[in-house]
Structure 1
Amino acid sequence: MNTGTALVRLARTTATAAALTLLTAATTTASHADPATHDPAPENTVFVDAASLSPDELRSFGQLIPYAEYARSHGSKSVAPRTAAGRAPGDEVDLREECAKQAARAKTATGWIKSRFESCQKRPFDLVLRDVKGTTTLGRLQFDQWVLGFAYDGSRRVDYVASIENIWVNPIPTEDAKKWRLGQHFRHSINASESDADPKVTAPQTEARDELLGAWDSRPQWTLTYTSPDKGALFKDGNQQRVSSTVAMDLSVSSPSAAPYTDGGSVYTSSVRYDYAGPVAGKHKGTVFTKARVELVMSEKDPAVNESALHIYDALNRPERTFPSWVGKSVPGAKEPLHRVVDEKTVDDNREKSISECKKVWGNYTGTGLECDEYPFASTKEGSTKGDNRFSVRLITGTDNRKGGERLNAMYTLNRVLNNDPFYVKITK
C-alpha cells in the first residue's frame, strides 16, 4: 500500500489554526460578514435538515444547481479549477469506488469499515435555510461529505482524507450562497483504561477547515495524519504501547445571518488502536480500526482444510453431532465472538484437555495419521479449559489439522489480532 505517496500529493488548504467547537466556528464565521449588508439580523435564520420539512414545503423550492454554475451566474468572474475527487492514484480510488457501493453503511457516523486498515464515509446532507420561526425559507444546500481512513500495518499512524463534494444550491434572490460556509472540525480523545501506560497521540497541526462554499468546490479534499510516539521495542518488557483513541468530526454550516447549525456534532467517528506489540502481531508495530469485523473464513470445498471446515460448521450449526455431547449445547464463534489468547501456557492447557477428550471418545489413535482437532481453537479464551463445555473435538487428518492452524495464524497476523481481540468464524459451503 503506497497511500502515503498519494496523500502527499493531495491539495492542502488554508484552515483555522486549531480545532473549533461548532458554536465558536459559527460565531467566528458570522463575524467575517458586514452586518450592514444582511437582513434579517444575525441568528434570525438557521440551517435545518430538509427531512424535517413537509413534502409540500420542499416542493416550493425550484431546481437546485451546481455551486460553480450558481457562482458564475452571480458575479464570480472566475472559479478556480476543481480538483477532481477520486483522481488520486492507488488505494483512495479503489476505496471510494467500493464505498459508493456500500451507501447504507457508508452514510452512518462510523461509515463503512472495510477492514482493520481501510474505512470510509460518504454522507449526503440536504439542508434548508429558514427563519427561526419556521415561516420563511431562504434557500437549500446539498452536498456529500467524504472521509477516507487508512490505518497501517507497520506504522503507528492513521490518515484521513476528508472532503466536501457535489455542492448544489438554490437560495432566494435576496440570499447570497457565495457567502455560505461549511466547516469540518476534527478532534481526538484517548481511552486510558484501554491503553498501556502513558498513552499519547500527536494530532496534525490543523484539525479544522472552515471555508466558503467556493473554496470547497474548487479544493474539495484535505488530509489529516495522527500518530502516536514510538518508544522502540518494549514488548519484551510487557509494554505493547497500545493507545486506544477516537477521532471525531463535527460539521458546521453557516451564513452571515444564521445561528449555529445544531445537528453537526460527531457526524463522523473513528476508533483507532496504535500498538508496538512485536512479532505476535506480525509486523512489530501498526494501527487498526478497532470497529472492523475480523473473520476467519474457511470453505468446505477447500481440499486443504475441508475436514477442519466441516468440524467447525457442525460445532456452530449442529452441535448435537459433536463431542462432548450434552442437551442444549451451543458453541461460540458465529454470533458470539472468540477472543485470542497469546499466553503459551493457556494454549498448551487447552490443547492438552482437548486431546484428553479425544482419547475418551476414540481411544488411542497413535499411528493412524489422525490428529485431535479442537474448536474453539486452543489459542482462544473460549478454548476447552474455559469450563463451560462449549467446545468440540474431532479426529481429522493431520495435514488438514495443521493447515487449519496455519490459516488461523495467518488471519491473526494479517489483521494485527492481539491478546483478547475479538474475531468471528465463517464457514462457506
Structure 2
Amino acid sequence: MQHPNHRIRLVRWARRAAAACAVTLLTTTAATAAPTQAHTPRPATTAGFVNASSVPKSELQELNHPVPFAVYRRSHGKQTRHGHTVRRAPADEQSDLRQQCEKQAAAAKTQAGWIKSRFESCQKRPYDLILRDKNGTEAIGRLWFDMWTLGFSYDGSRRVDYVASVENIRVQTAGTEDATKWSVGQFFRNDIDASSSDANPQITAPSTVRRDELLGVWNDKPAWTLTYTSPDLGAQFNNGNQQKVAATVFMDLGVSSPSVSPYSEVDAYHSGVRFDYAGRVAGKFKGTVFTGARVELVMSRKDSEVKESALHIYDALKRPERTFPSFAGKTVPGEKEPLHRLIDQDKQDANRTKSIKECKKVWGDYSGSGLECDEYPFASTKEGSTKGDNRYSVRLITGTDNHAGGQRIDAMCTANRVLDGDPFYVKITD
C-alpha cells in the first residue's frame, strides 16, 4: 500500500542529520501520478550540500581531485554505523541492461531514465555535490557518485522490481571535514492514478522503502531491491474488470553531513507502471508494463511476406498524395502521431466495411482477383476509416500479404501488452 507518512519521515531524517543547524528542505505538493519538477540547485551561499554547477569555478579548483571512497576511508578510520542487510540482485539480471544503459547516457540521466521496452528501464544519474560550511561561505568537501535504478516488469505477473544503488563514490575534503560521516538516503514512495485504473486499485509496496546509509555502507553494499505488486483477484476480465492499476513509483534523494543542513531532491527518479489482468487479448493473461515505453510496429519493404502492406503504409505516411481517398493536404497518423488499439469487434467490422466500400469505389469489383482491400490506419485502431476525418488510406494488395500484415499487428500487441486505447507507432524500414 502507499506510505502517506513518507514525507514526515523524510523531514525527521533531515532534522536529525542537521543537528543544531537550520534545516532547509525542498518541499512539494502531494505526489500525483504526473512527474513533479526536478530539484533546482540552491544558491552557492547556502550551507550544506549544493550542486557543483552552482559553485564558482574558482572554488572548484581546490576541490577537483576525487579520491575513491575506499581509499579515503583507509586514511580516515572505519565506519562505526552498519546498514541493514540488502539483497543484491543476481548480476545476470542486470548486466545487459546496464551495458545498454551506459550507451544511452543522455536519456538515462533524466528523471524517468531510459525506458528500453515495456519490461525494462534504467536510470544512471551522476551527482557532483559541493559541501559548504555552516555559514555557507567556504567549500569544505566534494562528493561524486552515480545513482542507478534498474527496473524490471513482467509479462505474466503483476509485479515490478527496482534494483537501486549508489556506486562509484568519490570524495575530497578540506580542513577537518570527515567524509566517512556523510550519508546518502534513497526514499521510495508510490502513487495511484485512479482515473486511469479500474475499480479499487491497490499496490503492495515492499516492507522496506527507504535506505539512509553512511557512504561506507553504500560502498560495501551498493545495491538493494524493491518489489511492488498489485493484488490478484483472479480472472475478472469477462465482467469488464481488467484490474488495471496505473501508478507512479517515485524516489527522493537525500545527502547529509552532521555539521550542516542536508541536500534533498524530491522526485530524483520516477517510473510509470501499469498492472493488469486483461486476459487473452493481452497475450499472457496478466502482467505489468512500463507505460512510458514507445511501442512500435516495425515492418520492412524488403520483407517478402509483408512488402505490399509495408509499401502501402510507407506511402500513406510519406507520400499521402498517392493514396485514396485523395484530397489536398492529406496526412495520415502513425509515425509522429500514435495510433490507439481498438478491441471492439463491431467497431472493427465497421471500419472494414467502410474501407471495402472505398476500395470498390476506386477499383470496382475485384472479387476473384486474389486481391484484398488493405487499410491503414488498421481496422483494429481508433484511427480507422470510420473516425470521420478521412485520414486513412485503402489499397488492393494480395490476400496472403494482407493476412501476414494482420498477424504482425497482433503479435506486436501481445508482445507488448497493448490494451484497448493504448498508443503505438508504426515504422517502415527499407
Query: What TM-score results when the alignment is normalised by the length of structure 1?
Result: 0.90
Give the counterpart letter for 2:184 in structure 1: L
Distance 1:362 1:386 in 2: 23
Q: Does structure 1 conserve the Cα–Cα contact (< 8 Å) formed by 2:81 and 2:214?
A: no
Equivalent residue number for residue 405 of structure 1: 406
Structure 1: distance between partners of 2:173 and 2:14: 19
Give 1:90 shift: 2.6
The corresponding residue for 2:34 is none
| In 1, Cα distance between equivalents of 2:22 and 2:176 | 15
1:223 CA drift (Å): 0.5
The one-letter amino acid of 2:332's match is V
Return closer, same or farther for 1:388/1:62 CA change in 2, 3 Å cut-off. Answer: closer
The amino acid that maps onto 2:347 is T
3-state SS in 1 of match to 2:400: helix
Q: Which residue of 1 aligns with 2:16?
A: 28
CA contact (8 A) 1:99 1:120 kept: yes
Query: Is 1:368 matched up with 2:369?
Result: yes
Q: Compared with structure 1, are the counterparts of its residues 135 and 24 closer, same or farther at alpha carbon in structure 2 (3 Å cutoff)?
A: same
Q: In 2, Cα distance between the equivalents of 1:265 and 1:124?
A: 16
- Mapped to 2, the partners of 1:29 and 1:135 lie a distance apart of 20
Quickly say closer, same or farther: Cα 1:374–1:132, change in 2 above 3 A.
farther
Structure 2 residue ranges without an equivalent (≥5): 24-45
Closer/same/farther in 2, CA of residues 193 and 204 from structure 1, 3 Å limit: same
Partner of 1:164: 166
Give the structure 2 partner of residue 305 of structure 1: 306
Corresponding residue number in structure 1 for 2:421: 420
The correspondence of residues 48-87 of structure 1 with structure 2, limited to 5 A, is 48-76=50-78
One-letter code aligned to 2:141: G
Q: Is the 8 A contact 1:86 1:96 kept in 2?
A: no
1:207 to 206, 209, 222: 209
Deviations 1:138-163 (A, max 9, x none): 10000000000001000000000000
**Cα distance in 1 between the residues matched to 2:146 and 2:81:** 20
Q: Distance in 2 between matches of 1:28 and 1:189?
A: 27
CA shift for structure 1 position 371 = 0.7
Tell me by how many angstroms 1:30 deviates.
4.2
Q: Write out per-residue CA displacement over residues 254-295 of structure 1, whole angstroms, 9 at most, x where no aligned residue.
A: 010121314x11010000000000000000000000010000
Q: Deviations over 1:209-239 (max 9, x none)?
A: 0010000000000000000000000000000
Shift, 1:45, TM fit = 3.0
Q: Give the Cα separation in 1 of the matches to 2:147 and 2:419.
A: 33
For 2:88 and 2:423, the matched residues in 1 are separated by 33
Distance 2:147 2:131 in 1: 19
AA aligned opposite 1:124 = P
Q: Distance in 2 between matches of 1:270 and 1:105?
A: 14
- Aligned counterpart, 1:137: 139
- Paired with 1:22 and 1:55, the residues of 2 have a C-alpha distance of 32
Change in Cα spacing, 1:59 to 1:368, as seen in structure 2 (3 Å) is same
5 Å-filtered alignment, 1:278-289, equals 278-289=279-290
Secondary structure, aligned partner of 1:267: strand
- Deviation for aligned residue 1:132: 5.7
Deviations 1:83-131 (A, max 9, x none): 9x99934331110010011000000000000000000000000000003
2:243 equivalent in structure 1: 241
What displacement does 1:79 show? 12
For the 8 Å contact 2:325–2:394, the answer to whether it is kept is yes
In structure 1, what residue type is equivalent to 2:14?
Answer: A
User: Contact 1:300/1:306 (CA < 8 Å) preserved in 2?
Assistant: yes
Contact 2:88 2:223 in 1 (8 A): no
Structure 2 residue matching 1:174: 3-state secondary structure: coil
Letter in 2 for 1:268: Y
For 2:267, what is the secondary structure of its paired residue? coil
Cα RMSD of the aligned pairs, angstroms, is 2.1
- Structure 2 residue 234 is the aligned partner of structure 1 residue 227: no
Residue of structure 2 equivalent to 1:102: 104
Distance 2:93 2:365 in 1: 53
Amino acid aligned to 1:292: A
Report the AA paired with residue 297 of structure 2: L
Q: Does 1:198 align with 2:186?
A: no
Give 2:116's aligned residue.
114
Separation in structure 1 between the aligned mates of residue 64 and residue 357 of structure 2, nearest angstrom: 76
The change in CA–CA distance for 1:78 and 1:184 in structure 2 (over 3 A counts) is closer
* Runs of 4+ with >4 A deviation: 18-21, 41-44, 77-80
1:86 and 1:93 in contact (8 A); partners too:
no
- Residue 398 to residue 416, structure 1, CA distance change in 2 (3 Å): same
The CA deviation at 1:393 is: 0.2
8 Å Cα contact 1:86/1:92 also seen in 2? no
Kept after mapping to 1: 8 A contact 2:370/2:398: yes
Instruction: Please name the residue that 1:349 is paired with.
Output: 350
Question: 2 CA distance for matches of 1:283 and 1:424?
Answer: 22
Question: C-alpha distance in 1, partners of 2:80/2:336?
Answer: 57
Identify if the C-alpha distance between structure 1 residues 134 and 332 changes in structure 2 by more than 3 Å, giving closer, same or farther. same
Deviation digits for residues 298-338 of structure 1, max 9, x if unmatched? Answer: 01111111110010000001000000000010000000000
- Residue type of the partner of 1:344? Q
Aligned AA (2:262): P
Other-structure match for 1:391: 392
For the residue of structure 2 that corresponds to 1:170, the secondary structure is strand
Equivalent-residue separation in structure 1 for 2:98 and 2:81 (angstroms): 26
Q: Once the 2 structures are TM-superposed, how far is the Cα of residue 171 of structure 1 from its aligned partner?
A: 1.1
Q: C-alpha distance in 1, partners of 2:13/2:228?
A: 22
8 Å Cα contact 2:17/2:261 also seen in 1: no
